[in-house]
Amino acid sequence: MRQRGCRVYKLHDRISITITGTVQGVGFRPFVYRLARELRLTGHVANTSLGVIGEIQGQAGDVDEFIRRVVADAPAVAHIAGFDHQMIDPVPGETEFVIRESDPSTDKSVAILPDLATCPDCLAEINNPSDQRFQYPFTNCTNCGPRFSIINDIPYDRPNTEMRNFTMCPDCQGEYEDPGDRRFHAQPNACPVCGPRIGIDGHNATASGVVLDYCADIIRQGKILALKGIGGYQLLCDARNEAAVKELRRRKHREAKPFAVMFPNLACLQQYCSVNTEEIALLTSVVAPILLLYKKAGAGLATSVAPGNPCLGAMLPYSPLHHLLLGKFDFPVVCTSGNLHDEPIATSNAEARDKLTSIADDILSHNRSIARYVDDSVIRLTANGVQYLRRARGYAPAPHYHRRKLPNVLAVGAHFKNTIAISMGRQTVISQHIGDLSTPEAHNAFHAIVEDLPRLYDFTPEIVACDLHPDYLSSQFARNLNLPTVQVQHHHAHIASVMAEHALEGPVLGIAWDGTGLGSDGTVWGGEFLICEKGDFQRFASLRPFRLPGGDVAALEPRRSALGLLHTIGQPFHFAHGFEESELRLIEANLRQDINAPLTSSVGRLFDSVAALLGLGQVTAFEGQTAMKLEFAAHGRIGSPYPWGAGDVVDWAPMIAAIIADRDRGSSIESIAARFHGTLIEIMVAVARKSGLAEVALSGGCFQNKILYELGAKRLKEAGFKVYLPRQLPPNDGGISLGQVWVASWQY
Ligand code: ZN
Ligand code: ZN
Ligand code: FE
C-alpha cells in the first residue's frame, strides 16, 4: 500500500482521495461517510470503476485523523490495495458530507467481491419472530450476501445486478438511503414485501414457512431435494440415510466420489467430525467453505457419503435459505452440486427443470437469477496452513496482486479442474473453478466463463496463454483467438503458479508431481524436477519413464500403470489385475510393439501402480481414488525409504522390486505404504541437494496428498531448503492459469 508522506495541513484543508482494491460492496462508502461525519468533515465520496474516490475538507488535525483511520478502521472484508491522497484547493462554504452516485467510467480494474456468508446480525433477524425479515430467505446487508453470483457489470450497483427487477419497498429504500443503517447501499437489500421469493416447482405454496416445511419433509422422508443455492443448484438428502444416499449416487451417476455434507450448526458438526479452533474459524468465516475434516467413528453417517475415506467435506449453512431449511433438522444433509456426472451445475430454473427432475424428487426454486455458476469451495487445514482444493464461492474472484505490472494476458488453463485467469496491471483475477472440459456441457461452461470474465472487467487480451497440449479444448480455443499465443508446459505452469504467488524470480527448483501433462519432448510428464527462472525452465531431473498401456484410459485403471511399470523392468505380471487372458496378451503385444502405450514419468501413475500391486484397487471410479487409498493406508506416517536409483533419471525400479518382495513376504500394506511415501520424500530431498539451489517450490495434483504436502515440506525445511507452497490457489490444475499468466508475462 502506498501512502504519501505526512504534511501539515492548514485550517480547512481539502484533500482528494483514491482508494483501490476490494472496496465495493463491503460498506466502504458508508464507513467513509460515518467517519467523515464523526470528524466534522465535509465533502463527498463515490464508487467509480477505479475504486472509491472522494474529497475531504475540514480542520487540519481532523483531516490527518481521517487519513489514519480510513485505513486502520476499514471494514474487515475490504482489502485496500492502494490509498492516495493529495492536497487540493478548499471549497468555501461547504457544510455537508455526501455520498455521490456511482460514476460509470471505462477503467474497470476495481475488485469485485466474492459471495459472503450470512452475518450474525442477519441470522438473528431471520430467527426472530417479531422481525419483518423473520424466515425471509434473501435477507442480507453490507456485511453479507451474494456478490459475484449476482453481478452483471461494474460498478457494483443494484441496476447492474440480478436484483435489478426487484424495486425496493419504502422500508428497504429507507434502510438503503440511511448512512447509519447496516443496509446503507446494500445492493441486494430485500424484504418479504419487495424481494425475491421461494417456491416449489409444480406446487402452489408460496408462503416461506409452508415451502420450507414441505421441503424439510421431503428430506426427512429419505427423498432427494434440489435447492437453488447461491451459485447454482444443489442436491440434498439425509446424510444418515444409507438408502437415500445410495439412490442419489445412482441417479447422479456418481459411484464413489465423496459427497459434501452440510450440518445445521457447529454443535451437530462436532458430533460427527473432529474439529479444532482454527478449523471452526474457517467454517464460520465469511467464506463458509467445505472443509475436509476427520470423521468420528460410529457417529451414524451413511457409509455411502464418503466410502473408504477417513475424511468428510463438511460445511455450515451460508445463506439464509440454507439456515432456514437446515434449522429444521438436528442431523446433517448431503449437499452436493446439482448436476449430472461431470456436467456443470444447473443455475437457471429452466435448466433445473430440464436436468434435475431425473435426480431430485422436488425442486426448491426462487426468482432471483444467478449471474454465473459458482461452486462451493473446498479447503483443508494442514501443517502448512490452509490448502485450497477447489477455489470458488467465497474466494473467486478475489485478485492476486503482483509486485510488477503485467501485460494483458488471458490464460485459458489446461483441461482438468480448470480455471482461467486474466491479468491487468498489477492484478490477476483467477476465475471460479470450472471443472473438467470433458463433456460438451463443461466445454460450454468454459466458453461462458472465458467470455464472461473479460466482459465483466472490460478486459481486452493482448496475449493468450495455454497449455502445450494441442488437443485440449482450452488450447484449441486459444489458437482460434488469433492473438500472440504462449504455450506453457504443464508442469512449468504448476511451478510458475507458486512463483507468481510468492513473487519469486528464481532460480528455484520446482518439484511438479501430478497425474498427467504433455512434456516438451512429446512424452507424458508428471514426475518433474524443473529449474525455473523468470519465465523459463530446464528439466533438471525426472522419474524414470514407463509405458502406459491404453494411454488416457490408464488414469481410471491403475492395473494398466502397474502392467506398464512391470513391463518396463521386465518383471512378471504377478498381481490380481483381473484381465482376461486374451486382453492381457493384447496389452503385452501393444507394450512390446509400442502401440497405444505412451511413455510417462508421472508420479500419479506411480502411485496407481503401487496401489494396484498391493491390491488396493484395479479399476477406479475417479482419477486418484486408489492413490488416495495408498495415502490412507499410510495413516499419515512415513517409513524408512526403499532403495532407488539416483541420477538425472530417478529410477524407481529398486523400490518396486523391494515393494513386491515385501508384499510377497507378507509385510503389512500400512508399512509398505508408509515406506513408499518415505521414499518419495527422500527422493525430493536428494534431488533438491543435487540441484545446488536453496529454494524449492512444490506443486501439482500429487501434493493434494497430505503426507507429501506436510512431511515433504517439513523434511525439505529440515534439510535447509526454503520451501514455497501454493497458498492462495490449489496445487492441482486449478492453479495452472495463474502459472500461465506468469510465464507469458516474461515473454512480452
Ligand atoms: Zn448481514
Ligand atoms: Zn422491502
Ligand atoms: Fe497437473
Rounded distance from Cα 35 to ligand 3 centre (Å): 48
- Residue 172 Cα, ligand 1 centroid: separation in angstroms? 14
Q: How far away, in angstroms, is 745 Cα from ligand 3 center?
A: 20
- pLDDT, tens digit, 9 for 90 and up, residues 476-527: 999 999 999 999 999 999 999 999 999 999 999 999 999 999 999 999 999 9
User: Closest-lying ligand to the alpha carbon of 183?
Assistant: 1
**Is residue 237 over pLDDT 50?**
yes
Q: Residue 252 CB: number of other CB atoms within 10 A?
A: 22
Element of type H or E holding 430: strand 421-430
Among all bound ligands, the one having the nearest atom to the CA of 490 is 3
Give me ligand 1 centre to Cα 546, in Å: 56
Inter-CA distances, 318 with 86, 253, 287, 324, 339, Å = 41, 27, 8, 10, 20
Cα dihedral: 238, 241, 244, 248 (round 10): 70
Its pTM stands at 0.91
CA of 175 to the centre of ligand 2 (A): 9
Ligand 3 centroid, distance to 604 Cα (angstroms): 10
Lowest mean pLDDT among 3-17, 96-110, 298-312: 3-17
By the CB criterion, residues less than 5 angstroms from ion ligand 2 are 169, 172, 191, 193-194
**pLDDT > 90? residue 461:** yes
pLDDT at 48: 80
Rounded distance from Cα 221 to ligand 2 centre (Å): 35
Q: Taking residues 700-714, what's their average pLDDT?
A: 98
Instruction: Answer whether 184's CB lies under 8 Å from 176's CB.
Output: yes
- How remote is the CA of residue 136 from the centroid of ligand 2, in Å? 11
* Ligand 1 centroid from CA 558, angstroms: 48
Residue whose C-alpha is closest to residue 726's, from 501, 531, 570, 513: 501
Work out the pLDDT band at 8, boundaries 50, 70, 90. Answer: very low
Q: How far is the CA of 630 from the centre of ligand 3 (A)?
A: 20
Q: State the ligand closest to the CA atom of 527.
A: 3
Looking at all shown ligands, the one closest to residue 118's CA atom is 1
Span 277-295, pLDDT tens digits: 999 999 999 999 999 999 9
- Kindly report the average pLDDT of the chain as a whole number: 93
Ligand nearest to the CA of 172: 2
Residue 9 has pLDDT above 60, yes or no: no
CA 628–ligand 2 middle distance (angstroms): 50
Q: How far apart are CA 275 and CA 621, in angstroms?
A: 29
pLDDT of 240 strictly over 60: yes
State pLDDT tens for residues 83-107: 999 999 999 889 999 988 776 554 5
CA of 169 to the centre of ligand 2 (A): 4
CA 362 to chain centre: 29
Centroid of ligand 3 to alpha carbon of 22 (angstroms)? 30
pLDDT in tens, 138-182: 999 988 999 999 999 988 889 999 999 999 999 999 999 988 888
Quote the ligand 1 centre to 53 CA distance (angstroms).
25
Q: Which ligand approaches the C-alpha of residue 117 most closely? A: 1
Q: Residue 516 C-alpha to ligand 3 middle, in angstroms? A: 6
Residue 393 per-residue DSSP state:
T
Say how many Å lie between the CA of residue 143 and the centre of ligand 1.
5
Per-position DSSP letters for 633-654, written without gaps between them: HTTT---PPPP-B-SSEEB-HH
CA of 120 to the centre of ligand 1 (A): 7
Residues 6+ apart with CB under 8 A from 679: 641, 642, 644, 655
Closest ligand (CA of 197): 2
| Distance from C-alpha of 690 to C-alpha of 541, rounded to nearest angstrom | 10
- For the stretch 598-640, pLDDT in tens is 999 999 999 999 999 999 999 998 888 999 999 999 999 999 9
How many Å lie between the centroid of ligand 1 and the Cα of residue 457? 26
CA of 736 to the centre of ligand 3 (A): 7
Ligand 2 mean position, distance from CA 133 (Å): 9
Query: Could you tell me the domains of the chain?
Result: 2-99 (3.30.70.100), 112-380 (3.90.870.30), 385-502+731-747 (3.30.420.360), 541-724 (3.30.420.40)
Residue 710 has which C-alpha cell?
A: 506436510
> Could you read off the pLDDT of 346-384 as tens digits, one per residue?
999 999 999 999 999 999 999 999 999 999 999 999 999
Separation between Cα atoms, residue 373 and residue 365, nearest integer Å: 15
